């Protein structure tokens, strides 16, 4: 019987190797060696190299989804929920750089080739953000003119870019906490000083409660 144990060992090895060398430069033999397994063994557990990447990705994102959902279940203030999401995502990426790297790779390299190849836990992940925003709008805590489908991309993109920089291992002088606070700060309050009183956007937000419109994909 093919053991779940070995399956896991391969996944862990692959995560490590992909993170270090990137998908295209990772050799199957690297993964095999890292997993202390023969090259051929890998093909008993996975169809091909892509399959490994996708499995790693889905599985790791899945864990994140579960964790964050659990955290959020205990909170019902949308403002805090956004804080929790941001903090948790960044903490996780700081802790698990391999995962951060694999997300980067998967999102830009493979997607294009093997799109919608299987169910997408990643969509589920970022839709957590838009769901929180919608809740906040229902409670009138968030601005009604924010489009949740765009906001979710902006927030995820910001987090992902910060994680990318961490992975370049240039030394940063900012602490984790400081960074988390900043990002929360920017997204909740914006960068403008006393926005309501001093400044009108060049183009005013036009639609209110645009829930009818389909989401930004």
Q: How many residues bind DNA (CB under 7 A)?
A: 18
**DSSP labels, 59-115:** HHHHHHHHHHHHHHHT---HHHHHHHHHHHHHHHHHH-HHHHHHHHHIIIIITTTST
Which residue, 29 or 67, is less far from DNA as judged by CB? 29
Which residue, 95 or 195, is less far from its own copies as judged by CB? 195
Which residues have a Cβ under 8 Å from the Cβ of 159 and sit 6 or more positions away? Answer: 86, 89, 90, 93, 183
Which residue, 45 or 156, is less far from DNA as judged by CB? 45
- Which among 32-40, 63-71, 130-138, 144-152 is the span making contact with DNA, rule CB under 7 A? 32-40
Is 99 in contact with 93 (CB distance < 8 Å)?
A: yes
Question: Does the protein bind DNA through residue 39 (CB under 7 A)?
Answer: yes
64-93 residues in contact with DNA (CB under 7 A) are none
Question: Does the protein bind DNA through residue 1 (CB under 7 A)?
Answer: yes
Supply the minimum distance, in Å, between the C-beta of residue 55 and DNA. 13
- Cα–Cα distance for residue pair 204/5, rounded to 1 Å: 57
Q: How many residues bind its own copies (CB under 8 A)?
A: 77
- Cα–Cα distance for residue pair 184/101, rounded to 1 Å: 23
Question: Does the protein bind its own copies through residue 201 (CB under 8 A)?
Answer: yes
- Which among 5-13, 48-56, 68-76, 110-118 is the span making contact with its own copies, rule CB under 8 A? 110-118
């Amino acid at each position: 019987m093919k053991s779940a144990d070995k399956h896991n060992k391969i996944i862990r090895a692959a995560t490590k190797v992909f993170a270090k060398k990137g998908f295209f430069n990772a050799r199957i033999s690297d993964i095999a060696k890292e997993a202390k397994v023969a090259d051929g063994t890998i093909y008993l557990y996975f169809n091909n190299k892509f399959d490994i990447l996708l499995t790693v990705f889905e599985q790791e994102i899945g864990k994140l989804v579960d964790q964050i959902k659990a955290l959020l279940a205990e909170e019902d203030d949308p403002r805090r929920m956004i804080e929790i999401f941001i903090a948790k995502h960044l903490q996780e990426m700081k802790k698990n750089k391999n995962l951060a790297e694999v997300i980067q790779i998967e999102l830009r390299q493979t997607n294009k080739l093997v799109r919608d190849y299987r169910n997408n836990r990643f969509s589920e992940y970022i839709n957590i953000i838009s769901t929180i925003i919608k809740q906040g709008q229902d409670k009138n805590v968030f601005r009604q003119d924010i489009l949740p489908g765009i906001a979710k991309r902006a927030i995820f993109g910001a987090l992902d870019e910060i994680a990318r920089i961490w992975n370049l291992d240039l030394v940063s002088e900012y602490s984790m906490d400081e960074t988390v606070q900043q990002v929360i700060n920017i997204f909740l309050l914006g960068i403008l000083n006393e926005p309501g009183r001093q400044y009108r956007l060049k183009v005013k937000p036009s639609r209110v409660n645009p829930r009818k419109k389909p989401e930004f994909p």
